[in-house]
Structure 1
Amino acid sequence: MGESAVSIFCELESSIRADAGRQPVPGGAVHPLTRYVMNYLKYTCEFNSTLEQVFRQHRRRDDDGGNPFAAQLTDVMELLNTNLEGKSRLYKDPALSNIFLMNNGRYMLQKIRGSPETNAMLGETWARKQSTNLRQYHKNYQRETWNRVLTLLRDDRVLTVKGHVQKPLVKERFKQFNSAMDEIHKTQGAWVVSDEQLQSELRVSIAAVVVPAYRSFLGRFAQSFSAGRQSEKYIKLSGEDLEGIIEDLFDGNPSSMSRRR
């Protein structure tokens, strides 16, 4: 029976390696493999004391006197992480790749912290490493999506020369910004972040950077346009509109600014 238990975990490792998956999960959502493996580990950890004895008797390597079952769980988690990193490369958009990794990484972390037995097996070191990875995915997403938007809202000593606003360039910047926001709203509104805390963290971090920059840009250059049709042609969004767009992200519902208004 002990050898069979060890063999079952060998089969689990093999199934994770074999799950190549050529089609990305729509919207960067949690992958079925992640759900399967995490639920599998949660249930096996309910028998952790028995399985520790089993793996100690039938272990296939030297674990330096540590818990061989905990070492086995760590191996499985590393395999799963490697598999998910491979799957993230199926997305053409690097920002969506990072949303996918965030979704799956957060799901894994929540599952482990929600199970005292699994948490005890993997330990705080694993949880800290996972949290560090999640922060990096978040930074990568922000860079891929929002750095280019913020670049449009900078003067860079181009929009004003010797105190004079370069109106054609300002017009072009507003057009580019409107186009960028429309594209982000259409695409990222269809992306999925089902964990409400993660969804809120993403939206808050985006708004904290982008909204003040846009309000400042508006305050500086809105008066360059005459009131009425010219102003409406280039200034499509108020600060409140921009906040609303950010609140629509990651809901899994594709939309556009025109439909929203």
Structure 2
Amino acid sequence: MASPSPRRHALPPPGHHRRTLSSTLVDESVAAAAALVHKWHPDDAPAGGSLFLHGAEEDEARRFLRAAADLHRAMLFFASDVAHGSSHGLVEAQALLQTAMRRLDLELRVLLDDIDSIQSDHAADASRSRNNICAVAEAMMAAGYGKECISTFKTRRRAALTASLRRLLGFSPPVDHLHKITWDQLDARIIPSWLAAATAAFGSLFPAEKDLCDAVFAGDNAAVGEAVFAAVANDQATGLLAVTEAAAARARRAPERLFRVLDVHDALTEALPALLSVFGDGSEVAARAALSVAKVGEAARGALGSLEAAIQKEPSKATAAGGAVHPLTRYVMNYVVFLADYKEGLALLYDYDYDSDSSEQASPSVIHRLVSALLSKLEAKAGCYREAALSYLFLANNTRYVANKVAGSGQLRGVLGDGWAEAQSAKARAHVGVYVRAAWGKVTSLCTQQGGAEPEAVEAAVMESVGMQEQWVAADDETGEALRAAATAAVVPKYRMFYRRHGAAVRLTPGDVTAMIAALFGGPLDLVSQRHQEDPNPYRDPTRSPRQLFT
């Protein structure tokens, strides 16, 4: 019987061989990763510094990231091979991975805090810091630690944004108890800070935060980035918008608060494009911004409507003594001079088709309406004077004041039109002409009366006219000069002819009449003595005022 042939040693199944080889490689990668993880153990962070900062080798940071990825792959390998006794390897890899993720979470915190301290002129450092943040976040997300990564990112960036806004504003939005803050508190502190910071906040801070979110959560994680940015920035943005709504609510249709409201409206509309670009047209913040714009606009229109109504309701019988410029005229014109600085914002508020290069508009502006309401009220007030001359003096003074205000303001002149002030000046000159005829008509009529009036009657008429006007006033020196010049031109030539006809029978010389007119409306009294030297009269007492000479 033949002896049996020797048995050949069978080779291990190919699958088993590959498993053994793979296990060896995985064990080696875990061992290498363990050494690096232990070196940069998160519990030793204060002494060990940072992987990415404080002089650590950049290559070692990259090796740590690869080690974290190796541990994640090892964990997956061991999890699929537990039937062959790899549970110990799974536990070890998972523990090491958790430690590595703790370290990366710590690094993420440090990097997120550090990026705000980098000066804007160090672009290379800022770019390197952002790349490091992206690399750490990517490693954490890939290893299944996305929830922890997102939580850390939101917490740190929300705190950083709050701190940046606090430095910019002087307070942190949302402002606590904003509904309890008075207008004076808003006006003194909060609104000025908001105005100074709104453009920078919506134009720089929020876009920078959005760029960081987009960079860290890119690609398949873009939707995550949108949600993270909303969690970081929405409350801060709506807190800023709440300040504008508080300003609108406290304005209470009060005209004296309008300019603050217009400042807020201008700043808000200026920041709106950047806000919509960052947060998106359909976002919660965009909806809140649209509501804020509407509320601020409503408050501004309400304040202007209140002013227009107040002008119209001003009692017509409340006239100005001596035909002076009425306080209402000064208030309204000073108001509209400032208001004209907001012409572009007003065009948005009232949907004007305003062309900054032309005074032509499709419809009258609110400034037109306010000035028109004022002029109508001045006409009504003028009718309440008992003396016709004083009525027209009042109109001349107030119309001249209005015209000068418009002429002196380039913005207001641009709104009302270049010819508007000139037209008002022409009206003022016409009022002066009517005033002179009303105030001096009796004198000129007697001087030119057929057959000649009695000298006593003419002199009495002169004294009556002068006495009537002694307490009347001119809007300004220019208007006073125009009034005196017009009266002199209308009266003195006729009186001189009368004086020549009656000679010594007339005690008042033409020089006396000229001096009396010259002393009206704040004119120089020393003209009286000058006229006495030019045109002496034996009945004249140079120590007496023009009004007292013949009384």
- In structure 2, the residue matched to 1:179 is 460
Tell whether 2:426 aligns with 1:136: no
- Conserved 8 A contact 1:22-1:90: yes
Q: Could you tell me the percent identity over the aligned residues?
A: 32
- In structure 2, the residue matched to 1:104 is 398
Tell whether 2:486 aligns with 1:205: yes
- Report the CA distance between 1:210 and its aligned residue: 1.5
Distance 2:319 2:331 in 1: 17
- In structure 1, the residue matched to 2:522 is 251
- Report the CA distance between 1:108 and its aligned residue: 0.7
Note the residue ranges of structure 2 that are not aligned, 5 or more in a row: 1-295, 353-359, 526-544
Distance 1:53 1:93 in 2: 46
Distance 1:92 1:200 in 2: 24
Q: Per-residue displacement from partner, 1:187-242 (whole Å, max 9, x unpaired)?
A: 212101031111111111211221121112212221xxxxxxxx4xx422111111
Distance 1:212 1:21 in 2: 38
- Report the CA distance between 1:121 and its aligned residue: 0.5
1:78 to 355, 372, 380: 372
Q: Aligned with 1:140: secondary structure?
A: helix
Tell whether 2:320 aligns with 1:49: no
**When the two structures are superposed, what TM-score results if normalisation uses the length of structure 2?**
0.39
- In structure 2, the residue matched to 1:152 is 446
- How many pairs align? 229
Could you say which structure has the larger radius of gyration? 2
- Report the CA distance between 1:259 and its aligned residue: 5.2
Distance 1:114 1:11 in 2: 26
1:57-96 mapped onto 2 (5 Å cutoff):
66=361, 71-96=365-390
Amino acid at match of 2:470: G
1:14 to 295, 309, 322: 309
- Conserved 8 A contact 1:186-1:256: no
- In structure 2, the residue matched to 1:240 is 511
Higher alpha-carbon deviation: 11-20 or 213-222: 213-222
Higher relative contact order (CA 8 A, sep 6+): 1
Tell whether 2:407 aligns with 1:113: yes
- Report the CA distance between 1:145 and its aligned residue: 1.8
Q: Per-residue displacement from partner, 1:127-173 (whole Å, max 9, x unpaired)?
A: 233123213212211221223211111152x24xxxxxxxxxx5x2x
- In structure 1, the residue matched to 2:326 is 31
- Report the CA distance between 1:257 and its aligned residue: 2.5
Tell whether 2:495 aligns with 1:214: yes
- Report the CA distance between 1:258 and its aligned residue: 1.9
Distance 1:251 1:189 in 2: 9
| Compared CA separation, residues 260 and 176, structure 1 to 2 (3 A) | closer
Amino acid at match of 1:135: R
Distance 2:377 2:499 in 1: 45
- In structure 1, the residue matched to 2:69 is none
Amino acid at match of 2:500: G
- Report the CA distance between 1:260 and its aligned residue: 8.4
- Report the CA distance between 1:6 and its aligned residue: 1.5
Distance 1:40 1:194 in 2: 18
- Report the CA distance between 1:37 and its aligned residue: 0.5
- In structure 1, the residue matched to 2:469 is 188
| Compared CA separation, residues 94 and 88, structure 1 to 2 (3 A) | same
Q: Aligned with 1:192: secondary structure?
A: coil
- Conserved 8 A contact 2:325-2:397: yes
Distance 1:121 1:43 in 2: 12
Tell whether 2:124 aligns with 1:124: no
Q: Per-residue displacement from partner, 1:28-71 (whole Å, max 9, x unpaired)?
A: 101111111111111111122222222217xxxxxxx9266x62
Q: What's the C-alpha RMSD, in Å, of the aligned pairs? A: 2.3
Distance 1:90 1:155 in 2: 32
Distance 1:23 1:259 in 2: 35
Q: Aligned with 1:56: secondary structure?
A: coil
Distance 2:362 2:408 in 1: 21
- In structure 2, the residue matched to 1:225 is none
Distance 1:155 1:259 in 2: 25
| Compared CA separation, residues 260 and 155, structure 1 to 2 (3 A) | closer
- Conserved 8 A contact 1:113-1:119: yes
Distance 1:145 1:22 in 2: 22
Q: Aligned with 1:121: secondary structure?
A: helix
| Compared CA separation, residues 198 and 56, structure 1 to 2 (3 A) | same
Amino acid at match of 2:498: F
Amino acid at match of 1:179: A
Note the residue ranges of structure 1 that are not aligned, 5 or more in a row: 58-64, 160-169, 223-230
- In structure 1, the residue matched to 2:243 is none
Structure 1: which 4+ aligned runs deviate by more than 4 Å? Answer: none
Q: Per-residue displacement from partner, 1:77-136 (whole Å, max 9, x unpaired)?
A: 111111011111121000000000111111111111111111110012422331232132
- In structure 1, the residue matched to 2:90 is none
Distance 2:458 2:520 in 1: 17
